[in-house]
Amino acid sequence: MRLDVVTIFPEYLEPLNLSLVGKARARGQLDVRVHDLREWTHDRHNTVDDTPYGGGPGMVMKPEPWGEALDAVIASGDGEERPVVVVPTPGGEPFTQEMAVRLAERPWLVFTPARYEGIDRRVVEEYAREYELLEVSIGDYVLAGGEAPVLVMTEAIARLLPGVLGNAESHRDDSFAPGGMAGLLEGPVYTKPPVWRGRSIPEVLLSGHHGRIARWRRDEALRRTARNRPDLIAGRDPAAFDRDDRRI
């Protein structure tokens, strides 16, 4: 998969050299290219923003540098693949595990993280006409820019690429995986030593009884979900509960 990021803070994307994403890049599973938006400005001050029409606080990112940058980045493709343009904005549709799965199937994503009050609307309209374009939010809070959301989305997507995670089963049970623990949050996990500061691990985990362990894990997942995300229980297909689940 190829992934381009156009930003006025290229250094903000340096964590993409680390850990899982960094390893995927080093192995050639992920081709990440970070571009400085200011390369597509032409004035002495490399201006990327201006005051908003209609008045109001803050500044708006000018359309011309974004247009030139996106044209150049998209023209650098092989001519066959068409990118999905992903515009991070608190006004976008929610980024979910389902969206991560869909985007992980695409060969090329172009992210456009903005600062200030956002990008001149005409840029979104222009590229939505020619390409698949998604405006995406990572949650109900406001960040100072879209760079951190790009890090978040890239990590969520990269770990789904074939061969990036050692064990393909490790995302089958992800908390939000469709059909994972059937849409429940994952319960607690334990490792050695068996007693730490006087705290023992749950006895069932030493029982060797796979059926009881699976039952216990599901109970814990239900308990955590009911406490932290009652909306996920309420929104669930009643058929996804089995008879034993109704005990809690």
Q: Which residues bind ligand 6GU (CB under 6 A)?
A: 88-90, 136-139, 141-143, 145-146, 149
What does the CA dihedral 117, 68, 83, 52 come to, rounded to 10 degrees? 20
Give the nearer residue to ligand 6GU in terms of CB position, either 139 or 230. Answer: 139
Residue, CB closest to ligand 6GU: 88
Give the nearer residue to ligand 6GU in terms of CB position, either 135 or 219. Answer: 135
Give the nearer residue to ligand 6GU in terms of CB position, either 101 or 143. Answer: 143
Catalytic residue among 36, 90, 202, 223: 90
Catalytic residue among 81, 117, 130, 242: 117
Catalytic residue among 159, 215, 218, 223: 159
Active site residue 15: no
Nearest to 112, CA basis, from 129, 127, 101: 127
At residue 213's C-alpha, the angle toward residues 210 and 215, to 5°, is 110
Could you tell me the sign of the dihedral formed by the alpha carbons of 112, 4, 162, 213, in that order? negative
Active site residue 117: yes
The C-alpha atoms of residue 27 and residue 11 are separated, in whole angstroms, by 22
The C-alpha atoms of residue 139 and residue 192 are separated, in whole angstroms, by 35
Active site residue 80: no
Active site residue 162: no
Nearest approach, Cβ of residue 217 and ligand 6GU (Å): 32
Nearest approach, Cβ of residue 148 and ligand 6GU (Å): 8
- At residue 93, what are phi and psi to the nearest 5 degrees? -80, 150
Q: Which residues are catalytic?
A: 90, 117, 159, 174
